[in-house]
């Protein structure tokens, strides 16, 4: 019996990549352009641009860090055979359903210069990790990490082990097999994880609020700014940006195809 599996099955590889690229560009471009348009005058754009660029400053590094960490731990979970694998995956997945205020609370416990651990970290890093962009990035990274990890694990587990065996058989060491064979073959699932991780980083609210402090100009990201904005047009502009980015993200994930077990 035949079953269709979504639009992506009928497109070729180049088409798929082009569709994703276009979606991302359109999403970002639309977000920027329409926000500018809606904001109307320079005054409004001034209000919106601050949180917008701040959000990018937070979300992009957060996605990169969460992506790298997610791929690494996803690989370890997919390939490793150690006891407590399930427990580790559970811990890593906690931010999906853990209340953001719990994350924020424990982050404050660990990062505030007043505590033992926080004081130590502040000295090591050289500057404070709370009530500034660094804190926001940490909160956003934690929000994005589980999705990157789970998607990476799922995608890597889906790679045909015979192909990896063949690569090992011709003499490639394990790390080169991972870089040249496994990860490239798993790139669609990994990309989907990065996309949704980015969306989560962009939209993070509760933990960012607690660790960043919602300081206007310094830590007030878009999702926080919505609640503090005074006039409707600028709030609508911010909403529109966020919605468009979310739509682009989910469309990208959908186009990348669902992972099959």
Interacting residues with another protein (CB under 8 A): 1, 3-4, 6-8, 86-87, 89-91, 93-94, 96-102, 104-106, 108-109, 115-117, 147, 150-151, 153-154, 192-193, 196, 199-200, 202-206, 210, 222-224, 226-227, 235, 239, 242-243, 246-247, 249-251, 253-254, 258-261
Residue 189 to residue 152: CA distance in whole angstroms:
6
76 vs 172, beta carbon nearer another protein: 76
Nearest approach in angstroms of CB 176 to another protein is 27
Residue 73 to residue 90: CA distance in whole angstroms:
12
Nearest approach in angstroms of CB 203 to another protein is 3
66: tokens are 């969460």
Nearest approach in angstroms of CB 243 to another protein is 6
48 vs 167, beta carbon nearer another protein: 48
Nearest approach in angstroms of CB 142 to another protein is 13
172 vs 254, beta carbon nearer another protein: 254
222: tokens are 């878009």
Residue 243 to residue 27: CA distance in whole angstroms:
9
51 vs 61, beta carbon nearer another protein: 51
Nearest approach in angstroms of CB 130 to another protein is 13
134 vs 201, beta carbon nearer another protein: 201
Residue 42 to residue 162: CA distance in whole angstroms:
59
* Pair 257, 6: CB distance under 8 Å: yes
């Amino acid at each position: 019996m035949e079953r269709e599996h979504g639009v992506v099955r009928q497109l070729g590889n180049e088409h798929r990549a082009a569709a994703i690229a276009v979606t991302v560009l359109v999403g970002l471009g639309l977000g920027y352009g329409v926000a500018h348009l809606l904001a109307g005058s320079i005054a409004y754009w001034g209000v919106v641009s601050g949180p917008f660029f701040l959000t990018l400053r937070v979300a992009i590094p957060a996605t990169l860090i969460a992506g790298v960490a997610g791929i690494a731990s996803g690989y370890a979970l997919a390939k490793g055979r150690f006891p407590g694998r399930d427990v580790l995956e559970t811990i890593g997945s906690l931010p999906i359903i853990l209340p953001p205020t719990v994350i924020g609370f424990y982050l404050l416990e660990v990062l505030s210069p007043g505590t033992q651990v926080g004081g130590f970290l502040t000295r090591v890093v050289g500057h404070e990790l709370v009530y500034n962009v660094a804190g926001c990035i940490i909160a956003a990274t934690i929000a994005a990490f589980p999705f990157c990890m789970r998607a990476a694990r799922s995608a890597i587990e889906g790679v045909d082990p015979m192909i990896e065996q063949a690569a090992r058989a011709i003499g490639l060491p394990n790390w080169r097999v991972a870089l040249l064979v496994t990860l490239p073959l798993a790139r669609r699932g990994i990309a989907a994880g990065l996309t949704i991780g980015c969306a989560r980083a962009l939209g993070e609210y509760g933990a960012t609020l607690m660790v960043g402090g919602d300081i206007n100009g310094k830590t007030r990201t878009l999702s926080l700014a919505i609640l503090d904005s005074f006039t409707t047009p600028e709030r609508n502009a911010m909403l529109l940006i966020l919605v468009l980015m979310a739509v682009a993200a989910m469309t990208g994930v959908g186009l990348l195809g669902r992972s099959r077990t």
